[in-house]
Amino acid sequence: MRRKPEEPRKPGPKKKPAERLPGTDLALLRTALDKRQNELADLVGVAPSTISTAESEGVRRELFERVTAKINLPLDETLRRAGEFREFVTGGAVRPGNEPDPDAQRDRRQLVDRVGRKLQNLMADIDGDILVYEEQRWANILLLRLRLRAPELRKGIVRHKPEYHFWRLSVLLCEESLKATSNDADEAISWAELAVLVAQLSPGEEGWRARVEGYATVHLANALRVKGQDLKAADRAYEAGRKLWDQYQGGSPEIDTLNEARVLSFGVSLRRAQRRFKEALELLEQALLLGREEQLAHLLLQKANLLRVMGDLEAAVAALQKAEPSLHEVRDRRLSLAVQLNLVDYLSVLGLHAEAEQKLPDVWQLTDGIGELDRLRLVWIQGRVAVGTGLEEEGLAALEQVRSAFSARRMAYNSALVSLEMAVLCLKRGQTERVKLLAREMAPIFESQDVHREALAALTLFCQAAEQEHTTLDFVEKLVRFLHRARHNPSLRFAPE
């Protein structure tokens, strides 16, 4: 019996794409709330990348609703106000040279004040302390306009439009430079150069203008340092910036707008890169005296990293422990992770495995969304701690996993360190053949560009001793301690005796 052919299925209704709103509206609301992308992400319970993508590619209405619900604002009213602000910023409401109504352009700052006041009134229920001054609003608008322009056009715009000659804009451009250093050193340099230009063109008392230019110039020095190709250029820029900074001896009420501790902190990073550790520590102590409350954890982390390079791990641990209480005030997930991750790392290197083990669960809770290298570092620490607390097989497996990952990424220095930590355990067990195999597997390290001469010389001694089965536990433990210290200090020499 022939089966009746099935009727073709009728296509169902097409799924309506999720409504997307302009990403600039979310960016403007976040700016008005004075929040960074990661802070807004924490507020609504999403990943920082979700906010970043929404601002650049368009925000789903559902996400915008979640943001406005969290801060008790009506969605439609918020969108309307943000739309007004967006129109002005992009030139839709008022565009120099193309004004729909000449009277509306008679005093541009009145328009800024009117739009900004609406935004301020809308936010009055969020935080009674929010005061959006007209000057700061104007600087934010100018910054947003520059963001919308191609980088190669920005200097020309600034030079030929006097409205951009405003010291508060220079300060905001410094912030843009600092944010860019984590992703793109060239972009950081571009924003810092623009900040210097704005400061030079801004009117005002000469000494104060020099201080603002100095502030911008040390940000340029920091961006040059991050790029890492010419520390001499970074040094020249930093010295020029400090000279300009020191010209001002007045007491302007705006002085707190310029962060002196940050100026010193940039000097710390530069001196460390130049191996001028004593000078770096002196600058850091000054910065700690002048730093704001929210800077304390960052400065103490910087101090710990510097002390680690100088070989004083105990003092580095003390600095990080001092930083821990202030992390609750900062609410910066990335900073919290850096402090806690370094702390468990340093504790484990010092052999304080029980203390490190207690802190590891809290560190793992901070790892959502972190980079793969940070996660590898945490597995490395966990393996080291497991070995130190008697879970040798578990620890060895973790170390082998990390060693393979570092080798695949051609991270020779890290690979050598993990190999030596494994060799320590093997020597304790009397596994000399395994030590010999680890030494032979180090061959790619000697072809690497990221292992300096003194470290290579020390590793050569290890490989020779392992091959002849003359390696001692004391020798390898000394070599591990040396490599930890010499990572950022190539001038150190290994003394096996």
332-342 pLDDT tens trace: 778 888 888 89
Domain of 35 in residue numbering reads as 19-94+107-132
Note whether 341 and 363 are within 8 A (CB). yes
357: region left, alpha or beta (phi > 0 left; psi from -120 to 50 alpha): alpha
Q: What are phi and psi of 263, to 5 degrees?
A: -55, -45
In the chain, how long is the greatest CA-to-CA distance? 103
Split at pLDDT 50, 70, 90, the class of 128 is: very low
Split at pLDDT 50, 70, 90, the class of 270 is: very high
Helix axes of 333-349 and 296-309: crossing angle, nearest 10 degrees: 30
Q: Would residue 42 count as lying in a domain?
A: yes
Alpha-carbon distances of 435 from 227, 234, 277, 430, 432, rounded to whole Å: 39, 44, 36, 9, 5
Amino acid at 226: V
Q: How far apart are CA 406 and CA 417, in angstroms?
A: 10
CB atoms within 10 A of CB 224: 24
| The pLDDT of residue 55 | 81
- For residues 321, 325, 327, 329, the Cα torsion angle rounded to the nearest 10 degrees is -160
Q: How far apart are CA 38 and CA 179, in angstroms?
A: 12
Which tokens hold the place of 142? 């100018």
Q: Would residue 127 count as lying in a domain?
A: yes
Residues 68-77, mean pLDDT to the nearest whole number:
72
Residues 75-87, mean pLDDT to the nearest whole number:
66
Alpha-carbon distances of 422 from 87, 379, 432, 440, 448, rounded to whole Å: 62, 14, 12, 14, 21
Eight-class DSSP state of 492: -
Taking alpha carbons only, the member of 63, 47, 40 closest to residue 126 is: 40
| The pLDDT of residue 330 | 63
Q: Would residue 142 count as lying in a domain?
A: no
Taking alpha carbons only, the member of 403, 331, 406 closest to residue 373 is: 406
Beta-strand runs (E) in 340-433: none
Highest-confidence segment of 18-32, 124-138, 223-237, 241-255? 223-237
Distance, C-alpha 423 to centroid of its chain = 35
What pLDDT, in 10s, does the model give residues 459-479? 888 888 877 777 888 888 888
Taking alpha carbons only, the member of 208, 212, 175 closest to residue 197 is: 212
| The pLDDT of residue 123 | 46
Note whether 355 and 347 are within 8 A (CB). yes
Q: How far apart are CA 442 and CA 432, in angstroms?
A: 16
Which tokens hold the place of 6? 């099935």
| The pLDDT of residue 115 | 44
Question: Which residues face 20 on adjacent strands?
Answer: 60
pLDDT over 50 at 173, yes or no: yes
Average predicted confidence (pLDDT) for the chain = 79
Q: Would residue 36 count as lying in a domain?
A: yes
Q: How far apart are CA 290 and CA 260, in angstroms?
A: 7
Q: How far apart are CA 287 and CA 67, in angstroms?
A: 36
| The pLDDT of residue 131 | 35
Q: Would residue 53 count as lying in a domain?
A: yes
User: Percent of the chain scored above 70 by pLDDT?
Assistant: 79
Q: Would residue 372 count as lying in a domain?
A: no
What pLDDT, in 10s, does the model give residues 411-434? 888 888 888 888 888 888 888 888
Q: How far apart are CA 168 and CA 174, in angstroms?
A: 10
Taking alpha carbons only, the member of 435, 447, 443 closest to residue 479 is: 435
User: Percent of the chain scored above 90 by pLDDT?
Assistant: 23
CATH code, domain with 42: 1.10.260.40
Residues 172-197, mean pLDDT to the nearest whole number:
92
| The pLDDT of residue 13 | 52
Q: Would residue 116 count as lying in a domain?
A: yes
Q: Would residue 43 count as lying in a domain?
A: yes
- For residues 126, 60, 332, 377, the Cα torsion angle rounded to the nearest 10 degrees is 170
Residues 65-78, mean pLDDT to the nearest whole number:
75
Which tokens hold the place of 445? 């390290």
Q: Judge residue 143's burial from the number of C-beta atoms within 10 Å of its C-beta, 0-12 exposed, 13-18 middle, 19 or more buried.
A: buried
Domain count, the chain: 1
| The pLDDT of residue 61 | 84
Residues 212-221, mean pLDDT to the nearest whole number:
96
Q: How far apart are CA 272 and CA 281, in angstroms?
A: 9
| The pLDDT of residue 188 | 93
pLDDT over 90 at 234, yes or no: yes
What pLDDT, in 10s, does the model give residues 281-313? 999 999 998 887 778 888 999 999 899 888 888
Question: Buried b vs exposed e over 175-209: b needs ≥16 C-beta within 10 Å?
Answer: ebbbebbeeebebbbbbbbbbbbbbbbbeeeeebb
Helix axes of 134-147 and 108-122: crossing angle, nearest 10 degrees: 100
